[in-house]
Amino acid sequence: MARCIAKLQKKKKLLKSDVADLSQMTYKSKLLWMEAKKRKLDIYCFSMNGRQLLVYQWNHRDKEYYYRYSPITILHKHLSKFKDPGVYDDKIFFKKFLSKNKIPHPEGRAFFSRKRALSYGKKLGFPLVVKPNSSSLSKHVTLNINDNEALKSAIGIAKMIDHRVIVERYIPGNVHRFMCINDKLLVCSKRLAASIVGDGRQTINELIDQYNATPLRGDKTKGNSPLGEVQKDNVLHEYLACQGVSLQKVLDAGKRIFLSEKTNCANGAEVINLTEKVCTENAELFRKIHNVLQVGVTAIDFICEDVSIPWGSQSFGILENNSFPDIAPQHFPSSGEPVDVAKAIWEFIIETLSETSD
């Protein structure tokens, strides 16, 4: 990367600056950049034709470090003790890894063939989950599949984004994420699908506007908010129709309806910090997974009913790895104490590099 950047700079096609245009950054990048500036680190960003790139340079102890997206990549690029977390983003590879290390996860397999995926799903038994092997921000994931026709449809949806689809057993519970840094559980949060509660006066449309009105929410694709907003698109209309309501419906006082079955932040999910409620057995499992992966920072999605209950006593399964996790929801959760992940990441990187150079 350094050689490519130097070549482009020599041709005056790349502009280097210690001042960033925050409006062109994702919220995650903003947090990491602002933390670096707060620490007075010698850090730079690059732009080409007026467009800021996701490439950065950090000068530390007479060395130049280049990274994309997150500075955590510096660790596996410069220190052999850490693996590249990106290798675990492949869902099937990660599933096999979990199985090899006897870590609980949903039973399932990947298929190129629609016919074989359908046959396997019927054999595995309902309810099921179908998803593409590559990431799609949950847009092409179908949950809680309970019949053959729904399974066929789900396979087709997943294939819109990837030729290889995963069919796996559905595990009831809430989606959570834990993050570990340096053998320490930094944060554990729960994601809940967006929902509204009626007051007997306002329409669903008005209640959604009210839900989206908080400063924390906005269009995640534009990077201007830590939490996503509920989009009034065809998916929402269909989801409401399945519940027998529409945007014009006045919701009865006290009645709650969900606005999506997906619990990712892009769909307006709520994020709740539950770190202090994680029981000892679960914290030990999270640290075990972190150490087995041998990466600098782990951000793992899992499903369970209650993090205060030992994983072996409830429905529980590790879902997937995130090599470039969004840290904004941890900084600005819907409820619970905020966690300064950007600060923890920079502290860990600086400390680790200092130890290796001493």
- Verify that 273 and 239 share a domain, yes or no: no
Distance, in Å, from the CA atom of 271 to the CA atom of 273, rounded to the nearest integer, reads 7
In-domain check, residue 278: yes
- Verify that 96 and 181 share a domain, yes or no: yes
In-domain check, residue 53: yes
Q: Which of 267, 301, 329 is the last residue of a domain?
A: 267
- Verify that 88 and 181 share a domain, yes or no: yes
In-domain check, residue 75: no
**pTM recorded for the entire structure:** 0.90
CB 187 within 8 A of CB 277: no
Q: Which of 46, 69, 92 is the last residue of a domain?
A: 69
Residues with Cβ within 8 Å of 114's Cβ and at least 6 positions away in sequence, in order, are 152, 155, 156, 159
In-domain check, residue 332: yes
- Verify that 89 and 183 share a domain, yes or no: yes
- Verify that 131 and 198 share a domain, yes or no: no
In-domain check, residue 74: no
Find, among 12, 17, 1, 19, the residue nearest to 66 by Cα: 1
User: Of residues 141 and 340, which shows the higher confidence score?
Assistant: 340
- 3-state DSSP assignment of residue 225: coil
In-domain check, residue 353: yes
Q: Is the pLDDT of residue 10 over 70?
A: no
- Verify that 273 and 352 share a domain, yes or no: yes
Distance, in Å, from the CA atom of 330 to the CA atom of 194, rounded to the nearest integer, reads 17
- Verify that 223 and 114 share a domain, yes or no: no
In-domain check, residue 115: yes
Note the pLDDT of residue 5.
74
Q: Which of 267, 302, 324 is the last residue of a domain?
A: 267
Distance, in Å, from the CA atom of 99 to the CA atom of 118, rounded to the nearest integer, reads 23
- Verify that 356 and 279 share a domain, yes or no: yes
Average pLDDT over residues 166-171: 95
In-domain check, residue 76: no
CATH number at residue 285: 3.30.470.20
Residue type, 96: K
- Verify that 273 and 178 share a domain, yes or no: yes
- Verify that 207 and 163 share a domain, yes or no: no
Q: Is the pLDDT of residue 133 over 70?
A: yes
- Verify that 178 and 318 share a domain, yes or no: yes
Provide the residue range defining the domain that includes 47.
2-69
Average pLDDT over residues 17-30: 92
Question: What are 38-68's pLDDT values in tens digits?
Answer: 999 999 999 998 899 989 999 999 999 999 8
Note the pLDDT of residue 134.
80
Handedness of CA 213, 214, 218, 224 (dihedral sign): positive
Average pLDDT over residues 110-116: 95
Note the pLDDT of residue 138.
66
Note the pLDDT of residue 266.
81
- Verify that 208 and 228 share a domain, yes or no: yes
Distance, in Å, from the CA atom of 211 to the CA atom of 208, rounded to the nearest integer, reads 5
| Count of domains forming the chain | 4
Q: What is the DSSP letter of 203?
A: B
CATH number at residue 129: 3.30.1490.20
Measured torsion, CA atoms of residues 348, 351, 353, 356, in degrees rounded to the nearest 10: -130
Ramachandran bin of 16, using left for φ above 0, alpha for ψ from -120 to 50, beta for the remaining angles: beta
Distance, in Å, from the CA atom of 211 to the CA atom of 261, rounded to the nearest integer, reads 17
